[in-house]
Structure 1
Amino acid sequence: MSENLKTIKELADELGVSKQGVRYHMKSIPQEELKKNNKGIVVLNIEQQNFIKRKAKSDTAVSGKSDTAVSGKSDTVVSGKSDTAVSGKSDTAVSGKSDTA
């Protein structure tokens, strides 16, 4: 293979991000433009690498983070009494996960 082609892992290692981080930006590249090496592994040409590098760099510049998961949980119970009792609970996770099955 050419020196200009890199696997997803090679590019991720170079950028210091996860393979999932590289794949996220690959969604913008049309599937028919992606090539595979003789082992069946997706390889990125120099233009695709530069595209992903720009995207990953802009993500890092905006958020100050690189492939960092943000999760949190807020358990707030509100209760009050008057003639009727009001009680509620809110479980909100920033990660998009909920406590319900």
Structure 2
Amino acid sequence: MVGSVELPPIQGKFYGMSLYFFTLDFLRELSDHGAGAVTLNMQHEYTKAELLPDRCFEAVYIVTLLRDGFGFHPSARDITFTHLVEGNEVEWSLGLALSEYAADRKVAT
């Protein structure tokens, strides 16, 4: 649970997309450039200048949600962070639509 919201159990593979991917990719690129790379002029493919100040908060939010909400161990390696699935860009809204579609198919059978 996160706060008073119970999250659904994870079934199958877990894909971290959208904010999960953009934030992790930003941190990966930052670590590739070393700790001195944090400047207001830093360029990142998925991070506009106005989003830069929020990336560290987003990283903490994601770790907390994965650990406390979904129950992943901090050293878990069973999460796929991606921007593309089978060559197609994915966003949270597509994930929700696919999840709803799968749930409807279970009810219908």
If the length of structure 2 is used for normalisation, what is the TM-score? 0.26
Larger radius of gyration: 1
Task: Please state which structure has a larger fraction of its residues in strand.
Answer: 1
Bigger relative contact order (CA 8 A; separation at least 6): 2
Task: Please state which structure has a larger fraction of its residues in helix.
Answer: 2
